[in-house]
Amino acid sequence: MFQRISLPSSLSRSLSSVLPNYRFLGGVFLLTVMLLLVALTHISIGARPIVWADIFQAIFAFDNQQFVHHIVIKQRLPRLVVAMACGAMLGLAGFSAQKMFQNPLVSSSTLGVSSGAVFFSLCAIYFFNVSENDIFIPAFIGASVAGVFTLSMTEMMNRSSISKNLHIVLAGSLVSMLFSSLSSFLMQLDPLRFANVQDWLLGDISPADFTDLSRIYPLALLAIGVLLSQGRSLDVMIMGEKQARSAGVNVTRTRNITLLCIFLLASLVVSIVGPIGFIGLVVPHISKLFVSEVGNKGAWLSMLIGGLLLSFSDLLARIVIAPKVLIVGGVSASIGSIFFLCLLYFMVRDKHMS
């Protein structure tokens, strides 16, 4: 819509070299405004309603005597920030995965990575008494094991058939099914011990705060930076492996590094808020409305959208049955899985893929 404005051709050519893409800028503007609105609503709504003026005051001129300021800074802001950060990480992981595999159904949850991370974390808690602060390590191992399992299964399936696009998702779902049944098996062995991780298993933001974020942010930033730096190689890889090789891209290395970063981001999110599914699946599709997946703009936009989506889901979780708070993992999964179903349907209908 923004691009259709007709200008004299010479002017339009010179403008397009100076001005960035309108659609992208429009998208960034729109999403930022929405993010701010969601954030303010998120903070202001709750057992104690808070007016927006108080929120700004609490953030910019914190007064130790004011009770309201303590609610904003110590209770509601951490939850919001955690939601945004995790959403951004999941969004970027999903974007990179979909770009690399060139498959609109792939994300960290549909690859089975999250449930692998959960199972290994539970094992670490059960067998080695690992404290919840160190759960990141088993989560990362689990994510990698599950991811590699899914990929090797896909490879095996692809060998015996021509149609390939759905196989990776099928393999991912099966791996995820296996690990979640293993998890529920393990939990039945000692229900009392796992009573306090019950909410975490569904994906729950409420117990997480700044200390959790401060523990993971170096690794998260590292993974995000590496993923952004791989952007160009991934762009070339869209053309296909052979072309990318002849263009001088080390395909295997790029793929391994990208996968590793995706596993890392997914397991970091699992380690602080649990397996929040489907955000990574939905985000890239929204970002494609504003900008093509070539280049790093899509990656930045995906982080923005991820933050927006997860904080919006959290807002919904808090207001739907108001005094009670739903678990955000359930809310995001219910939106995301309906989206997944529709995506699957349209994909098969339009392209006649099997």
Partner 1 sequence: MNIFDDQNMIISPSEGISLPLYKRTLWVLCALVILLSLSFVYSLKLGSVSVSWADVYAVMGFDVELNDATSTIYELRLPRIMGAIAAGALMALSGYLLQTAARNALADPGVLGLSDGAALSVIVLYVVFSQVSLTASILASFFGVFVTALLVLWFVHKNLSGTFIVLVGIAVGAVVSAFSDILLSSVTIEDMAFLMAFLSGSFLSLDLTSASFLSIWMTVIIAVFLLLSRYINPLNFGYQHAMSLGVDAKKYYIFIIILAVFAMAPVIALVGSIGFIGLIATFLAKNIIGYRGTELGIVSMLLGAIMTLWADTLGRTLFAPVMINAGVFIALIGALFFIIMTRYIVKQ
Residues in contact with partner 1 by the rule CB under 8 A:
153, 156-157, 160-161, 163, 166-167, 169-171, 173-175, 177-178, 181-182, 184-185, 188-191, 198-199, 202, 277, 321, 324, 326-327, 329-331, 333-334, 336-338, 340-341, 344-345, 348-349, 352, 354
Closest separation in Å from C-beta 335 to partner 1 = 8
CB-nearer residue toward partner 1: 36 or 353: 353
| Closest to 90 (Cα-Cα) out of 198, 183, 205 | 205
| Closest to 312 (Cα-Cα) out of 48, 83, 49 | 83
Closest separation in Å from C-beta 146 to partner 1 = 12
Give the DSSP letter string of 263-326: HHHHHHHHHHH----SHHHHHHHHHHHHS-SSSSHHHHHHHHHHHHHHHHHHHHHHHTTTTS--
CB-nearer residue toward partner 1: 57 or 206: 206
CB-nearer residue toward partner 1: 58 or 328: 328
Residues 6+ apart with CB under 8 A from 30: none
Cβ atoms 299, 110 nearer than 8 A: no
CB-nearer residue toward partner 1: 65 or 188: 188
CB-nearer residue toward partner 1: 62 or 345: 345
Closest separation in Å from C-beta 58 to partner 1 = 29
Closest separation in Å from C-beta 171 to partner 1 = 7
The amino acid that residue 187 corresponds to is M
Give the DSSP letter string of 158-174: HHT-S--TTHHHHHHHH
Closest separation in Å from C-beta 185 to partner 1 = 5
Closest separation in Å from C-beta 208 to partner 1 = 16
Distance of CA 267 to the CA centre of its chain: 11
CB-nearer residue toward partner 1: 258 or 313: 313
CB-nearer residue toward partner 1: 157 or 228: 157
Give 52: exposed, middle or buried? Use CB within 10 Å, 0-12, 13-18, 19+.
Answer: exposed
Cβ atoms 31, 301 nearer than 8 A: yes
Closest separation in Å from C-beta 338 to partner 1 = 6
